[in-house]
Amino acid sequence: MFATNTRTNHSIFIPFDTGSPRDGVMQHISRLGSLARLDFERCTVAGEIIFAVEADAVPVSQPDEEARIGTLAYALRKLEPAEDAAEFLRCLNAICEGGDARCRQTTASHYYHEISERGTSVVLKEMGWLAMQLASLNAVAECLKDDEFWPEAEPKAATGGEQPKESIAAFIAEEIVSLARMTRGRRKSACFLHDEYGDWLGELEANGASVEELDDAFAQVESLQQYDEGGAVIVMSSHERTVACGRLDPEYAAEDLPEHAQYLVPELRRLYASGKSLEELWDDLQCQLEVLFPTSGKTETGKPFYSHANRSWQQFVRQVLEAILNDCQQDFHLTALRTNPSYRQFHKTIRTAQDARMISETMKRAYEARQAGTLPLKHFTALKTAAELQRARLGVQQLSAKAFRLVQEIQSASPARLRYFSWAFYGTNQPAHVIHNLPAQEQARVWATLKTRKEIVTQKVVRQAI
């Protein structure tokens, strides 16, 4: 009944609920255009925020790269000599083997704090002992990948000289085969992947690679850290970031209202910005809805009536107005007008000013209010933007009749007349001149015309002299 033709992003990112999530999404994708489908597949909606996960557009700068607490470059900056930094990183790799980036950062931060309080040698010794103990606990035997290399498991005789039963032997053999199948190729049900990159870094270090080469290699490996759980590989990359792409539009907009009820939208914004309470605001709007869509009353013949259709229209219009009010509450400017009377008065003066001098005077008073603490900095910044926009509007307005005649007179003036204009326009040399009664923005345009005309006349005189 209340279908809308308004073009919003709500129809792109919110599939219609068909009762089947999979079929609903498939039908939604099939109805989207090529560009809309790309946006739908690239972005995700969280509440009312549309966001996307993107990789860095440019490589990470060297200062940002070196700021990572778990890198060799950071260790070289914090620890001296370089041998201590290399040993610290070697122990850190052993302690955090199989951990994620967060674990590595936390561990490195802890040991740097310990070094600052207790000294490098003592902490490195403790890190070495801990790394050795963890290595003994997490020792993994290398396994061949081919089934034929796995020996058949044969149960040994019991120490007491008593042979195990056949059922127990068969069970043990079956368990050994099952364990071999699960652990072959380092496969596990839920675990960290084998650190092949760590082995590569270890080989580089063992082969005598320089500190710069190790730093570059570790920077590349760090961005590729990943782990899997149940077969799902999750990339833990520091080169990805969440980017806010916009806000989800409401389902209905002001254009969806009936034509004779669309005036309620500016009325709602005016009441909200004026500071009226929400209860009074809705009471006022509800009274106007009762007039526009009467639900009960009497006909011309005096018979009572009740309109269910008008009741539905009232509910629909109120739903649209609630969505618009929600947008108003999220709008910084409208909320500032509502909550700060000083900002409201300053902004009204700026927007209604027809002379740039009035804008400058208003901004001076706003600065004084800012110094006094009655006007927050963010509101003062918004007033500066409003003042710049109003000056731009005044600068492109059509000249008044007096200013237009003065510009025409300047464009056809002789050199002597131009010198007179320069003298009369300046300061209080001739207060009765018409230029002193013009607004500041028109005076600026007249001065610009005079300057351009003088340059043209000067060039003409120079050419004639040559």
Residue 75, domain member (yes or no): yes
Weakest mean pLDDT among 35-39, 306-310, 314-318? 35-39
Higher pLDDT, 373 or 244: 373
Q: Which of 317, 382, 393, 408 is nearest to 355 (CA)?
A: 393
Residues 156-184: what's their mean pLDDT? 56
Residue 145, domain member (yes or no): no
Task: Check residue 154 and give its pLDDT.
Answer: 47
How many C-beta atoms surround the C-beta of residue 307 within 10 A?
Answer: 14
Task: Check residue 283 and give its pLDDT.
Answer: 93
Task: Check residue 193 and give its pLDDT.
Answer: 46
User: Which tokens sit at 195?
Assistant: 């650190």
Domain that holds residue 46: 10-56+241-247
Task: Check residue 205 and give its pLDDT.
Answer: 78
**Contact call for residues 88 and 124 (beta carbons, < 8 A):** yes
Weakest mean pLDDT among 245-259, 266-280, 320-334, 379-393? 245-259
Amino acid at 426: Y
Task: Check residue 165 and give its pLDDT.
Answer: 57
Would the pLDDT of 323 be above 80?
yes
Residue 5, domain member (yes or no): no
Q: Which residues pair with 246 in a beta bridge?
A: 50
Residue 275, domain member (yes or no): yes
Check whether residue 197 and residue 130 sit in a common domain: yes
CA distance 35 to 9: 12
CA distance 386 to 353: 11
Task: Check residue 156 and give its pLDDT.
Answer: 46
- Which range is most confident: 328-332, 357-361, 415-419? 357-361
Residues for the chain: how many in total? 466
Residues 433-461: what's their mean pLDDT? 89
CA distance 300 to 411: 71
User: Which tokens sit at 364?
Assistant: 């001076």
Check whether residue 289 and residue 306 sit in a common domain: yes
- Is 0.95 surpassed by the pTM of this model? no
Would the pLDDT of 187 be above 90?
no
Would the pLDDT of 190 be above 60?
no
Check whether residue 106 and residue 214 sit in a common domain: yes
pLDDT band at 224 (very low <50, low <70, confident <90, very high): low
Residues 223-230: what's their mean pLDDT? 45
pLDDT band at 253 (very low <50, low <70, confident <90, very high): confident
Would the pLDDT of 146 be above 60?
no
Task: Check residue 38 and give its pLDDT.
Answer: 85
Residues 331-359: what's their mean pLDDT? 93
Residue 174, domain member (yes or no): no
Residue 15, domain member (yes or no): yes
Check whether residue 129 and residue 215 sit in a common domain: yes
Check whether residue 110 and residue 199 sit in a common domain: yes
Given 290, 305, 336, which residue is the final one in a domain? Answer: 336
- Which range is most confident: 166-175, 190-199, 435-444? 435-444
The whole-chain average pLDDT of the chain stands at 79
Task: Check residue 379 and give its pLDDT.
Answer: 94
Residues contacting residue 66 through CB under 8 Å, at least 6 positions apart: 73, 74, 77
Strands of the sheet containing 240-247, edge to edge, are: 44-46, 49-55, 240-247
Q: Which of 390, 331, 334 is nearest to 358 (CA)?
A: 390
**Contact call for residues 438 and 402 (beta carbons, < 8 A):** yes
Check whether residue 416 and residue 293 sit in a common domain: no
Residues contacting residue 466 through CB under 8 Å, at least 6 positions apart: none
Residues 135-143: what's their mean pLDDT? 59
What does the buried/exposed string (b/e) look like for 164-183 if buried means 16 or more CB atoms within 10 Å of the residue's CB? eeeeeeeeeeeebeeeeeee
Helix axes 264-273, 332-339, angle to 10 degrees: 50
Check whether residue 87 and residue 195 sit in a common domain: yes
Residues 192-198: what's their mean pLDDT? 58
CA distance 118 to 341: 58
Task: Check residue 279 and give its pLDDT.
Answer: 92
Check whether residue 103 and residue 47 sit in a common domain: no
Given 379, 395, 411, which residue is the final one in a domain? Answer: 395
Would the pLDDT of 63 be above 70?
no
Higher pLDDT, 48 or 66: 48
Residue 431, domain member (yes or no): yes
Amino acid at 300: E
pLDDT band at 220 (very low <50, low <70, confident <90, very high): low
Check whether residue 380 and residue 445 sit in a common domain: no
- Which range is most confident: 12-26, 111-125, 216-230? 111-125
pLDDT band at 36 (very low <50, low <70, confident <90, very high): confident
pLDDT band at 219 (very low <50, low <70, confident <90, very high): low
Task: Check residue 231 and give its pLDDT.
Answer: 39
Q: Maximum Cα–Cα distance for the chain, whole Å?
A: 131
Handedness of CA 324, 329, 335, 339 (dihedral sign): positive
pLDDT band at 80 (very low <50, low <70, confident <90, very high): confident
Task: Check residue 14 and give its pLDDT.
Answer: 81
Q: How many domains does the chain have?
A: 5
Weakest mean pLDDT among 167-176, 290-299, 303-312, 336-345? 167-176
Backbone φ and ψ of 22, nearest 5°: -70, -50
CA distance 95 to 354: 71
Given 221, 247, 273, which residue is the final one in a domain? Answer: 247
Backbone φ and ψ of 234, nearest 5°: -115, 120
Residues 205-231: what's their mean pLDDT? 65
Task: Check residue 212 and give its pLDDT.
Answer: 80
Check whether residue 123 and residue 208 sit in a common domain: yes
Check whether residue 126 and residue 15 sit in a common domain: no
Residues 298-312: what's their mean pLDDT? 86
Residue 173, domain member (yes or no): no
Check whether residue 75 and residue 119 sit in a common domain: yes
